Amino acid sequence: MSLEYSADSLSLSLPDLSARFVTVIHNQRSHSLGKWVLRYQAIWTETYTITYKYLFQYDFRVSAADFDYLKVIGTGSFGKVFLATHRENGRYYAVKVLQKHIILTRKEERNVMCEHRVLLKTVNHPFLVKLHFSFQTKDRLYLVLDYACGGELFYHLQREGVFGEPRARFYAAEMACALGYLHSLKIVYRDLKPENILLDSAGHVVLTDFGLCKEGMSGRGTTRTFCGTPEYLAPEVLLQKEYDRTVDWWGLGAVLHEMLYGLPPFYNADRLEMLRNIIYQPLVLKPGVSSAARDLLKRLLNRDRAKRLGAKRDLTEVQSHPFFSSIHWDKLVAKQIPPPYVPLLVSFFFFFFFCRCRDYSPNNYHFYCFKPVQLFSSVEHTKKEFLTNVNVVFHCLDKDFLQNIFSLSPLNFLVHTIKVTGVQDADFHCMHKNILQNIIFCVPQKKQMLGTTRG
């Protein structure tokens, strides 16, 4: 009996036709990531060959010890989000670590389990964050997610103030597709805001944080739970009335308003006054955007949820608005439309062995430069300056850029420590102050590599 397999099928040549069904489990390493189990479906052919179409499934256990945790990239009510690399495949992930005692104390088990279920259901959508692994220890829960290295939409809005209509249209269209997909699964998102909207390395939208989702919401289903972020809450939620999936379309209108005008609708520094504005004040749209954009905002931010855009035909109704007339929706979902903005990701992890120019690092963790690169001279991690956007880590090797920085001094850079592993080495994340390019250096002490010691 001979066994052959390819990337998309497996053929088993049989000497005897009496073998009607064959079960094959083949274990192999793939990208150095545990064991794969291939499950096959037998299909007879006229050439006495069974072709097995398979579905890859993971068959291995992952633990917290399988990751190197580089830095904290986010904090929340129940824990932190770490940028981490898997020790075997070297890929970057965002690892959400939740503390069980906080969850239990606040009686939030239902929300945490809801987030996990939603992540499992939405694994195949291009604009929703993907769950790769989930596991737990005695006191913590771990969710290993895609790392969207383009940062939060909130960061880009803070930096740029407003977006032009083409860029705002592109983001709003991808958000709408994500919301429509959730609605098709009877899930209402309920927490659309710039902090929960990430950009991947290519500039596409990635929605994250499903802790406030409501499951089991069909087209006419309603609920009364009060939750969300004040600036983006629909008036029916504030009034604690019954609401449905159209709260997500209100949220889309609020985020679109912020992208076009720089602030959420009805915004006021006095939060109580802002909530009154959401409930009672008319929507005022200043000039500077197209009539189609203003009309879309008026229809998304309609206080009557029954008349709100999306109330009747959900995503299809939103897609048909003139503001989105230039969007080819099938190409958008296939990521065949180039994003109007691609994050500048020019950096890398780089390793060098240098001659030390100072004494060995003392106990208070001073990290000094190594010749010939004079980048980190007299940098002390306890007195570091932080980058504007600490969410972004970059992976591109640019040799020309590397050569250009050799002659620069530490005054040209903002520097902070990503990771400290004893007094022997450190990882530094740097941004050039003038050209705003980013680099990451891992600087190991030569003493450690040579096995030398000093009293």
Give domain status of residue 338, yes or no. Answer: no
Q: Does one domain contain both 223 and 80?
A: no
Of 333, 358, 378, the one marking the end of a domain is 333
Does residue 342 lie in a domain region?
Answer: no
Residue pair 58/88 in contact (Cβ under 8 Å)? The answer is no
**Quick one: tokens of 452?**
């030398």
When mean pLDDT is compared across 70-79, 210-219, 331-340, the lowest value belongs to: 70-79
Q: Are residues 54 and 178 in the same domain?
A: no
What is the number of other CB atoms lying within 10 angstroms of the CB of residue 73?
21
**More confident: 220 or 442:** 220
Average pLDDT over residues 301-329: 97
pLDDT of residue 97: 95
The neighbouring-strand residues paired with 94 are 83, 145
Are 129 and 135 in contact, with CB atoms under 8 Å apart? no
Q: Would you give the DSSP letter of residue 359?
A: P
Q: How many domains does the chain have?
A: 4
Same domain, 266 and 247: yes
Q: Report the run of H or E that residue 366 belongs to, with start and end.
A: strand 366-367
Residue 228, domain member (yes or no) = yes
pLDDT exceeds cutoff 90 at 253: yes
Indicate whether 98 belongs to any domain: yes
Q: Is residue 344 part of a domain?
A: no
280-291 pLDDT tens trace: 999 999 999 999
Mean pLDDT throughout 427-431? 50
pLDDT at 123: 77
Distance (Å, rounded) from C-alpha 130 to C-alpha 123?
5
Nearest to 111 by CA among 209, 244, 241: 209
Residues 157 and 290 both lie in one domain: yes
Which of 107, 172, 98 shows the shortest CA–CA distance to 137? 98
The CATH number of residue 240's host domain is 1.10.510.10
Question: Does one domain contain both 190 and 290?
Answer: yes
Residue length of the chain:
455
If one compares 160 and 345, the residue with the highest pLDDT of the two is 160
Cα–Cα distance, 211 to 96 (Å, whole number): 12
Claim to verify: residue 272 and residue 302 sit in the same structural domain: yes
Q: Which sequence positions are flagged as catalytic?
A: 191
Strand partners, 215: 187
- Which pLDDT band, with edges at 50, 70 and 90, does 360 fall under? very low
Predicted pLDDT of residue 365: 29
Residues 236 and 376 occupy one common structural domain: no
> Residue 73: what pLDDT?
86
Using CA atoms, how far apart are residues 200 and 171, in angstroms rounded to an integer?
12
User: Residues 422-428: what's their mean pLDDT?
Assistant: 41
Q: What is the mean pLDDT of residues 313-329?
A: 97
Q: Are 162 and 262 in contact (CB under 8 A)?
A: yes
Count CB neighbours of 314 within 10 A: 20
Q: What is the mean pLDDT of residues 190-215?
A: 95
- Report the percent of the chain where pLDDT is more than 70: 62
Show the domain range for 126: 64-146
More confident: 378 or 433 = 433
Q: Is 455 a member of any domain?
A: no
Using CA atoms, how far residue 183 sits from 10, 345, 386, in Å, is 37, 33, 39
User: Which carries the bigger pLDDT value, residue 189 or residue 422?
Assistant: 189
For residue 374, being part of any structural domain is answered with: yes
pLDDT for res 345: 60
Which tops the pLDDT comparison, 140 or 34? 140
Asked if residues 428 and 416 have their Cβ atoms less than 8 Å apart, the reply is: yes
- pLDDT-derived band at 231 (thresholds 50, 70, 90) equals very high
**pLDDT exceeding 90 applies to what percent of the chain?**
54
Please tell me the chain's helix, strand, coil percentages from 3-state DSSP, rounded to the nearest 5: 30, 25, 45
35 in a labelled binding site: no
Amino acid 413 reads F
pLDDT value at position 430?
53
Assign residue 318 a region: left if phi > 0, alpha if psi is -120 to 50, beta otherwise? alpha
Q: What integer is the mean pLDDT of 410-424?
A: 41
Evaluate whether residue 38 is within a structural domain. Answer: yes
Looking at mean pLDDT, say which of 133-137, 192-196, 386-390 comes out highest: 192-196
Give pLDDT tens digits for 86-135: 998 889 999 999 999 999 999 888 889 999 999 998 878 999 999 999 99
The 10s digit of each residue's pLDDT in 4-59 is: 333 333 333 333 333 333 333 333 323 333 333 333 333 333 333 333 333 333 43
In sequence order, what DSSP letters do the residues of 219-279 get, joined into one string? TT--B----S-GGG--HHHHTT--B-THHHHHHHHHHHHHHHHSS-TT--SSHHHHHHHHH
Q: Name the domain boundary from 333, 358, 377.
A: 333
Same domain flag for 136 and 157: no
Q: What is the CATH number of the domain that holds 102?
A: 3.30.200.20
Q: What's 407's DSSP letter?
A: T
Average pLDDT, the chain: 72
Which of 286, 305, 333 delimits the end of a domain?
333
Question: Which of the pair, 314 or 380, is modelled with greater confidence?
Answer: 314
Asked if residue 131 and residue 19 are part of one domain, the reply reads no
Same domain, 183 and 269: yes
Do 138 and 181 lie in one domain? The reply is: no
The pTM assigned to this predicted structure is 0.66
Q: Is the pLDDT of residue 335 over 90?
A: yes
Q: Is the pLDDT of residue 264 over 90?
A: yes
Tell whether 310 and 386 lie within a shared domain: no
State mean pLDDT over 177-184. Answer: 97
Does residue 355 surpass a pLDDT of 50?
no
* Phi, psi dihedrals of residue 148, rounded to the nearest 5°: -90, 100
CA angle 193, 196, 198 (to 5 degrees): 120
Query: Mean pLDDT throughout 327-350?
Result: 80
Give the three-state DSSP class for 199.
strand
